[in-house]
Homo-oligomer: A and B are copies of this chain.
């Protein structure tokens, strides 16, 4: 036998303030829920937890969709679920791309055999509904896919124009709500969204590992009328709904403890209330933006399109942004994110999400960021006290 490896010591995470693009800080009650004893995935007590979780998910998505479940994977599994369940080889998918997650949707759709047309907008600006409409009329897609809250750019899209466009061409409306669900109201039914997915590690304030999805009756019908089975067995909602539905047919062993966490996280969201929670995210995002601008820094996104839970701050010329993040992490224990794709090196991504969307976290990140910028030789004239005063007053 090969020599056995000696086990490593237990892992103790360092103390962190998570103010990046996710995962966000998880409240103690949710962490405690994760640690409750595991029970069976067919235990009647667990089936009750599943029912309650579905009801709370519907409330948070603001939908009556029966097919509303947390998928057993992270947000990207939710994206793949959303696409592979309705796309068959040769189907047309129109994707609005204004950041990394639009690029990814197009890629996932192509791998499912779709013919994909992409409509692009500059990263940091929202998609143009007129361009999407024009493309939809020409391309006649089965699915129109877009990102409600683009985590890579900090842009929030107005969903209002898209149901009408989809109705004109008979398309399903599919949206990424990874960084909006649980922080902002998403109003799936009011906006006529057919398919939406999210992740647990952003505004829901639960660790990563699950992906809530919701399918409208129309999307469900598209799934039911497929000619071929869904290419992914693991993500096949026609099987998964039988486990979450009345028949309780075993599909895969549900991630029990993660679902304890999500149940608790959803409880906390609904205890606060969706309206109050959205107001808190708006207020915190606005105050943070005000303070950043008062420091003399620039934001990537124009006021009307800003995503309150996730702000993209332009890196000032001459500043080594990775060094700033390293100092913030090592000296302050504060995590913020860097840019992705074409925004790499050009922006910081700062999240004030869910449980962590608080004024005190604004003070932490504004204070630590200004001190670090001065330390690396930038921002000589910054008046932090004045910036915080303006923030408080905003």
A29 / chain B contacts, CB cutoff of 8 Å: 10
The answer to whether B37 and A34 have CB atoms under 8 Å apart is: no
A111 / chain B contacts, CB cutoff of 8 Å: 229-233
A112 / chain B contacts, CB cutoff of 8 Å: 231
The answer to whether B23 and A31 have CB atoms under 8 Å apart is: no
A96 CB-CB contact with B under 8 Å: no
The answer to whether A256 and B23 have CB atoms under 8 Å apart is: yes
* Contact stretch, chosen from A11-19, A138-146, A157-165: A11-19
The answer to whether A253 and B13 have CB atoms under 8 Å apart is: no
* Contact stretch, chosen from A49-57, A212-220, A296-304, A383-391: A49-57
A231 / chain B contacts, CB cutoff of 8 Å: 111-112, 231-232
Question: Interface size bucket, A side?
Answer: 35 or more
The answer to whether A39 and B14 have CB atoms under 8 Å apart is: yes
The answer to whether A255 and B252 have CB atoms under 8 Å apart is: no
Q: Which B residue sits closest to A151, measured CB to CB? A: B253
| Chain A 260-277 per-residue mask, 1 if CB under 8 angstroms from chain B, else 0 | 110110111111011100
Q: How far is the CB of A147 from chain B (nearest CB, A)?
A: 15
A201 / chain B contacts, CB cutoff of 8 Å: 38, 253, 256
**How far is it, in angstroms, between the C-alpha of A2 and the C-alpha of B275 when the chains are bound?**
11
Interface centre among A62, A256, A268, A275, by most chain B C-beta atoms within 10 angstroms, is: A256
A40 / chain B contacts, CB cutoff of 8 Å: 16, 18, 20, 23, 335
Q: Which B residue sits closest to A113, measured CB to CB? A: B231
A251 / chain B contacts, CB cutoff of 8 Å: 76
| Chain A 322-366 per-residue mask, 1 if CB under 8 angstroms from chain B, else 0 | 000000010000010000100000000000000000000000000
A56 / chain B contacts, CB cutoff of 8 Å: 5, 7-8
* A residues 19-40 in Cβ contact with B at 8 Å: 20, 22-23, 25-26, 29, 31-40
Do A208 and B255 contact each other (CB < 8 Å), given the known contacts A234-B73, A267-B7, A275-B1?
A: yes
The answer to whether A253 and B10 have CB atoms under 8 Å apart is: no
The answer to whether A8 and B267 have CB atoms under 8 Å apart is: yes
Please, could you name 23 A-B residue pairs with CB atoms under 8 Å apart, sorted by A? Answer: A5-B56, A5-B270, A7-B267, A8-B55, A10-B267, A13-B45, A13-B46, A15-B37, A16-B37, A18-B38, A23-B39, A25-B37, A31-B36, A43-B329, A74-B253, A77-B234, A107-B233, A111-B229, A111-B232, A207-B258, A208-B254, A209-B257, A258-B258
What are the 10 closest A-B residue pairs judged by CB atoms, nearest first? A209-B255, A5-B59, A35-B35, A7-B270, A76-B252, A207-B257, A7-B267, A208-B253, A34-B34, A31-B35
Given A10-B264, A209-B257, A255-B258, 16 further pairs, Cβ under 8 A: A5-B55, A5-B56, A8-B263, A10-B29, A10-B267, A23-B256, A26-B37, A34-B257, A72-B73, A73-B77, A73-B234, A74-B253, A76-B251, A209-B256, A232-B232, A257-B258
